[in-house]
Amino acid sequence: MLSCAMIIENITMPEFTEGLKQTRTVIIPFGSVEEHGRHLPLGTDTIHVYELAKTVTDICPVFVAPPVWYGLCRSTSQHAGTVTVSSRTVENMAVEIATSLYGHGLRNFILISGHAGGTHMASLINAGERMLDTLPECRVAVLSVLDLSAELSPELIETPGDSHAGEVETSLMQYLRPEYVKGTSPEEYPAFPGKILVRDKLKAWPGGVWGNPAKASRDKGKTIVSKEAMLLCKLIKELETLS
């Protein structure tokens, strides 16, 4: 059983070396600084994915890298406080961080994002493919937290299609950072017109919520983190046993 000593930012050189005797696997969390309605902090995605990764260390041996706070935020780029970077930046950050960790002996890489935007995730997938091409002994998994929540029981998550600043993320913040939750926001869903790109993104999605925050609870947040951690640990074991 590993402790928080496997959190890379907190350990010393000898502790890192000792940790390699237990695991060659690392979680690299990616998040965002992005609007989450009127009630959740801009750092919600990063807080969620980093706390999830740290929770995994309680149930399976794994290193956890410091989170990457910035992501590619397209649909929310015009909302107050959102900070977005380019696809190339996301991709290069992932590859360069992984390459450095590979040089120190790590071989199995979990690129997991708390921000699930399509273009952002495509950048991480591109990064993973580049890693496979350039790091001959590496194994790579790329996923978002939405991939994990999709496996949760429908009895747990009441809002169909809940995605952003709604039931799930509000529940998570009520559990992980209750002091950061400022009331609630109305239920809302974006109105982007399918394949047509939108210049005025605020008009299509004024409140920045995709779901129903009123359905949230702290107990749901605690259960979600626990179940997500178990699912992520299962994925780690699958990755480590690939031939």
pTM reported for the whole predicted model: 0.96
Task: Please report the pLDDT score of residue 4 as a whole number.
Answer: 45
Task: Please report the pLDDT score of residue 153 as a whole number.
Answer: 86
Q: What is the pLDDT of residues 174-199, one digit of tens each?
A: 999 999 999 999 999 999 998 999 99
Q: What is the pLDDT of residues 195-213, one digit of tens each?
A: 999 999 999 999 999 999 9
Which amino acid is residue 210, in one-letter code? W
Choose among 56, 58, 59: nearest CA to 26. Answer: 56
3-class state of residue 43 by DSSP = coil
Full set of structural domains in the chain with CATH: 4-240 (3.40.50.10310)
- Across 134-156, b (16+ Cβ under 10 Å) vs e yields ebeebbbbbbbbbbbbeebeeee
